[in-house]
Amino acid sequence: MKGVKKLVNKRVKCTGCSLLCDDIIVRGDGLYIDEVIGACLKGKEKFEQITGKNRILSPLVRDKGELKKVSLDTALERSIEIMKESSKPLLYGFSTVSCQAQLKGIELAKSINGFIDSNSVICQGKVLNTAKEMGLTLATISEVINKTDLLILWGANAAESIPRLLNKILFSRGKFRMTGREIKTLIIIDPVKTASFGVMGVRDLSLNIDPGKDIELIRVLKEECCTPSGFPADGVAGIDQDDLKRLLIQITNAENAVIFIGQGILSSQTSVNVVHELLDLVHMINIKQQKGRMSIMMLGGHYNMAGFDQVALSLFGKNHSLQFFDNNLVETSETIISKLSKEDFDCSIIVGTDPISHLPWKLSKALMSKPLILIDNKKSATFNVADVILPSSLTGIECEGLAYRLDHVPIELQKIVNPPNNIISDEELLSKLISRLNPI
Amino acid sequence: MELYKFLPKTNCKKCGKPTCMAFALDLLQGKVKIDDCPPLLEPKYKKNYNTLKELIGSEEGKEKELRIDVETDLCDGCGICVTVCPVNARYCPPTLSGKAPDYPPEKHQLFQVKAGKCELLAIKYCRRIEAQGRERECRVCETYCPRDAIKIDYV
Ligand code: SF4
Ligand code: SF4
Ligand code: SF4
Ligand code: SF4
- pLDDT tens digits, A281-321: 888 888 887 778 899 998 888 999 999 999 999 999 888 88
CA separation for the pair A304, A306 (Å, rounded): 5
Residues from A contacting B (CB-CB < 8 Å) are 9, 21, 23-25, 27, 35-45, 145, 159, 163-164, 166-169, 171-175, 178, 180-181, 195-199, 201
Between chains, do B113 and A25 touch, taking CB under 8 Å as contact? Answer: no
ipTM (interface predicted TM): 0.87
- Using the beta-carbon criterion (under 8 Å), do A40 and B82 form an inter-chain contact? no
Q: Is the per-residue pLDDT at A438 higher than 70?
A: yes
Give the atom of ligand 1 at the shortest distance from the alpha carbon of A162.
1
DSSP H or E stretch at residue A356: helix A355-358
Task: Please tell me whether residues B94 and B49 are part of one structural domain.
Answer: no
How crowded is residue B153: how many other Cβ atoms within 10 Å of its Cβ? 12
Instruction: Name every protein residue with a CB atom under 6 angstroms from any ligand 3 atom.
Output: B 70, 75-81, 113, 118, 145, 147, 149-150
Kindly identify which residue of chain B lies nearest to residue A141, measuring between CA atoms: B97
Same domain flag for A138 and A249: yes
Residues A339 and A196 in one domain: no
Cβ separation of B84 and A181 shorter than 8 Å?
A: yes
Q: Is the domain of A189 the same as that of A279? A: yes
Residue A430 phi, psi (nearest 5): -65, -40
Domain that includes residue B142, residue range: 66-154
Burial class (CB in 10 A: 0-12, 13-18, 19+), B103: middle
CA distance A99 to A351: 13
**Cα A49 to middle of ligand 4, angstroms:** 34
pLDDT interval class at B59 (50, 70, 90): low
**Best residue of A14, A148, A164, A173 to probe chain B, by most B CBs closer than 10 Å:** A164
* CA A318 to mean position of chain CA atoms: 17
Please check whether residues A169 and A286 belong to one and the same domain.
Answer: yes
Secondary structure of residue B117 in the 3-state scheme: strand
| Span from the CA of A75 to the centroid of ligand 1 (angstroms) | 33
Q: Determine the distance separating the centroid of ligand 1 and the alpha carbon of A377, expressed in angstroms.
A: 19
| B98 conformational bin, left if phi > 0, alpha if psi -120 to 50, beta if neither | left
Residues 6+ apart with CB under 8 A from A65: none
Q: Are residues B102 and B54 in the same domain?
A: no
pTM equals 0.84
DSSP state of A4: P
Q: Provide the pairing of β-strand A347-351 with A185-189.
A: unpaired
Name the residue among B75, B98, B113 with its Cβ closest to that of A145: B98
The closest CB to that of A35, out of B78, B114, B147, belongs to B114
**Residue ranges of B 19-78 with Cβ closer than 8 A to chain A:** 75-78
Indicate which ligand has the atom closest to the C-alpha of B23: 2
Ligand 3: distance of its center to the CA of A45 in Å? 17
Does the pLDDT at position A431 exceed 80?
Answer: yes
Same domain, B71 and B142: yes
Q: Check CB contact of B117 with chain A, cutoff 8 Å.
A: yes
Q: What is the pLDDT of residue A177?
A: 65
Is A306 within the bounds of a domain?
no
For A166, the closest of B77, B97, B146 (CB atoms) is B146
- The secondary structure of A288-329 as a DSSP string is H-SS-EEEEEE--SSTTHHHHHHHHHHHHS--S-EEEETTEE
The pLDDT value given to residue B14: 84
Same domain membership, residue A92 and residue A164: no
pLDDT tens-digit profile of A213-270?
888 888 888 888 887 777 788 878 888 888 888 888 888 888 889 999 988 888 777 7
Q: Which domain holds residue A373?
A: 57-119+315-395+415-437
Q: How far is B106 from chain A (nearest CA, A)?
A: 14
Number of domains, chain A: 3
The ligand that comes nearest to the alpha carbon of residue B19 is 2
The answer to whether residues A294 and A282 touch, using CB atoms and an 8 Å cutoff, is yes
Look at B84 and A35 and tell me if their CB atoms are within 8 Å.
no
A85-124 pLDDT per residue, tens: 999 999 999 999 999 999 999 999 999 999 999 988 888 8
**Is A173 in Cβ contact with B96 (below 8 Å)?**
yes
CA distance B10 to B119: 52
**Is ligand 2 within 6 A of the CB of residue B7?**
yes
What is the CA B73 to chain-centroid distance, rounded?
A: 25
The SS3 of residue B97 is: helix
Residues B100, B119: one domain? yes
* pLDDT confidence bin for A3, thresholds 50/70/90: low
pLDDT at A1 (0 to 100): 43
Chain B nearest-CA residue for A10:
B103
Distance from residue B147's CA to the centre of ligand 4 (Å) = 16
Nearest CA in chain A to B141: A199
CA proximity to A141, closest of A255, A20, A25, A46: A20
CB contact under 8 A, B146 and A159: yes
> What residues flank ligand 4, with Cβ below 6 Å?
B 68, 85-87, 110, 126-128, 138-141
Same domain for B25 and B78? Answer: no
Residue B113: its H or E element: strand B111-114
Q: How far apart are CA A200 and CA A186, in angstroms?
A: 7
Question: Looking at the structure, do residues A136 and A182 belong to the same domain, yes or no?
Answer: yes
Q: Residue A83: how many CB atoms within 10 A of its CB?
A: 20
Of A325, A440, A369, A348, give the one whose Cα is nearest residue A83. A348
Q: Give the count of domains, chain B.
A: 2
Q: What does the pLDDT read at residue A198?
A: 85
Report the C-alpha gap between A232 and A244 in whole angstroms. 10
> Cα dihedral angle (A313, A318, A319, A321), rounded to 10 degrees?
-140
B82 touching A, CB under 8 A? yes
- Which residues are A26's β-sheet partners? A10, A36
Which pLDDT score is estimated for A123? 82
CB contact under 8 A, B84 and A42: no
- Domain end residue (candidates: A258, A273, A298): A298
Q: What are phi and psi of A418, to 5 degrees?
A: -80, 145
Q: Select the residue of A44, A175, A201 nearest B115 (Cβ to Cβ).
A: A44
Calculate the alpha carbon distances from B7 to A66, A325, B22, B31, B51 in Å: 87, 96, 11, 16, 10
State the number of CA atoms in the 13 A half-sphere of A137 facing the CB.
19
Chain B, nearest residue to A174 by Cα: B97
Q: A144-176, pLDDT tens digit by residue? A: 888 888 999 998 888 888 999 999 888 888 777
Cis omega before residue B104 (within 30°)?
yes
Domain termination residue (choose one: B41, B59, B77): B59
Q: What is the mean pLDDT of residues A206-212?
A: 87
What is the C-alpha to C-alpha distance for residues B87 and B82, in angstroms, rounded to an integer?
A: 9
Cα–Cα distance measured from residue A86 to residue A111, given in angstroms and rounded to the nearest whole number: 12
- Interface contact A35-B115, CB threshold 8 A: yes
pLDDT over 70 at A2, yes or no: no
Residue B25 pLDDT level (bands cut at 50, 70, 90): confident
Residue of B nearest to A197 (CA): B146
The domain that contains B43 carries what CATH number?
1.10.15.40
Q: Are A111 and A80 in contact (CB under 8 A)?
A: no
Judge whether residue A399 has pLDDT over 90: yes
CATH number of the domain within which B119 lies? 3.30.70.20
Give the best-scoring range by mean pLDDT among A123-127, A136-140, A195-199, A322-326. Answer: A322-326
Rounded-to-10 torsion of CA A375, A381, A384, A388: -20
Give yes or no: residues B97 and B129 share one domain: yes
Query: Residue A4: its pLDDT value, please?
Result: 67
Query: Do residues A344 and A283 both lie within one domain?
Result: no
Question: Cα(B99)–Cα(A183) distance, rounded to whole angstroms?
Answer: 19
Atom of ligand 1 nearest to the CA of A39: 5
Q: What is the pLDDT of residue B61?
A: 46
Minimal CA separation from A174 to chain B, in Å: 5
Tell me the pLDDT tens digit for each residue of A9-65.
Answer: 899 999 999 999 999 999 988 888 999 999 999 999 999 999 889 999 999 999 988
HEC profile of A230-291: CCCCCCECCECHHHHHHHHHHHHHCCEEEEEECHHHHCCCCHHHHHHHHHHHHHHHHHHCCC
Given A17, A35, A50, the domain boundary residue is A50
pLDDT at residue number A124: 83
- Residue nearest atom 8 of ligand 4, based on CA coordinates: B85
B40 shares a domain with B12: yes
